[in-house]
Amino acid sequence: MFFAQQYFYCFGIRASLLKIIYPLRYVRFSTSPTMTFRHKNAKRIEGLDSNVWAEFTSLAADPSVVNLGQGLPDISPPNYLKEELAKVAFVNRLNQYTRGSALSQVYGKVCGRKIDPYTDILVTIGAYGSLFSAMQGLIEVEDEVIIIEPYYDCYVDMVKMAGAKPVCIPLRYKSAAGGDIASGADWVLDPAELASKFNPKTKAILLNTPHNPIGKVYTKEELQIIADLCLKHDILCISDEVYEWLVYTGKKHIKIATLPGMWERTVTIGSVGKTYTVTGWKLGWSIGPQHLIKHLQVVHQNSLYTCPTPLQEAVAQAFLLDFKRMDESDCYFYSLPKELEGKRNQLARMLQEAGLKPVVPEGGYFMIVDVSTLNVDLSDMEEDKPYDYKFVKWMIKNKKLAAIPLSSFCGPETQQKFEKYIRFCFIKTWQYKCKERAEIHTYLDATEITPWT
């Protein structure tokens, strides 16, 4: 084991050196410092190079920083999943291409219908692969796709890469129904405003429930409003449901595809990374009717072609095990959210003690928090950036605590509505230790941050 660690350590150094050496080699062959290269980027990716993850992950790379920004679970996935992967490596036929899937049994039960694993499901490289295949396979140039803000940042970029136009509509905050403590349920769509976004150019609406970053779990009534508009205008629904199992007490996740008339026009996206806390496995899936999934399959077979067989087999065996105990409390689909609910409640409590205003999520493992009650001197930060962007940079530098600014999840027209919020991730073991048992309010020292009066 020692030698293996040393090898990979050296490999890491070598990889870093290659990043430095190879660019230098290319520079050396340039005949002129001002020489231009005629081969530029394709227009379809113009302006899409900016990435909040790259910027803030690099800032949080310092080992002294507690990184609560990115959704990287540091809790262990279930042992039976890892054991299945170890077994698979020794089965020769499972080291070759495959098409099999155990997802049809689980989702057949959830959706209350027979799902064909070969025609109604596409296994992809993560939920990203599913989103990409859906956009490339179903969306035409000059189509319009309705996107609900705040949105996961790749939504808009993928729509643009397909040559289509993103049409955004924000979730709007209403007064907290539970008193002083806000929740994901307090963020709602205006039905009239939503209806106004549909027109003859609209091809699809991109839904995300449970919602990242707010943690909203759409109710059946809210989903029915969306479904009615889809049916009225003959619109597709691409439903990102990667956090489908991570729903907390009193809430229920409902698949929009199960509403009357919606199966035929919905592509539902899932993720093993979110289901079993193995984000590095990068397996996702699209589920829907054959007449839609076949177009995603065409994109997939002509780009990625297939996904790693050993990972698929391990996940299939885990799904079969949890399928058999779906009516029992020890099913991982239910035991994980039960564990996370305690972490969610603890984080909300700690944030309140620090003088902040958390929005308690109904699902997922992110929590947004209103930091506008804090008086922080950000005069030395970049002037042209939103408040939350500057606040997070200040917090990383001065408090060694990393988060993600919420304004990075919306367009420039609505940044002002969301710039007082930042996003924390709570699928972390740090909450019970938190840098030598120091809590969040230690980072946000009251002597340096005081509430506005």
Backbone Cα Rg of the chain:
23
**Residue with tokens 């595809």, as numbered in its chain:** 257
Residue 56 has pLDDT above 90, yes or no: no
- Name the nearest CA neighbour of 317 among 91, 85, 116, 114: 85
Q: What pTM, to 2 d.p., does this model score?
A: 0.87
Residue type, 256: I
Residue 178 has pLDDT above 70, yes or no: no
Mean pLDDT of the chain: 86
Q: How far is CA 58 from CA 128, 193, 246, 292, 399, in A?
A: 22, 38, 28, 39, 16
CB half-sphere exposure, 158, CA atoms < 13 A: 23
Each residue's pLDDT tens digit, 217-226 = 999 999 999 9
Longest dimension (CA), the chain: 69
Surface-to-core class of residue 5, CB atoms within 10 Å of its CB (0-12 exposed, 13-18 middle, 19+ buried): exposed
**Residue with tokens 């592509």, as numbered in its chain:** 267
DSSP 8-state secondary structure symbol assigned to residue 45:
G
More confidently predicted of 376 and 386: 386
Each residue's pLDDT tens digit, 9-21 = 343 434 444 343 3
- Whether the link from the prior residue into 150 is cis, omega within 30° of 0, is yes
* Two structure tokens written together for 334: 């239910």
Give the span between the Cα atoms of 300 and 133, in whole angstroms. 6
Please name the helix (run of DSSP H) or strand (run of DSSP E) that holds residue 208, with its range, or none: strand 202-208
Residue 101 has pLDDT above 70, yes or no: no
- Name the nearest CA neighbour of 46 among 197, 157, 191, 145: 157
Q: Is 110 helix (H, G, I), strand (E, B) or coil?
A: helix
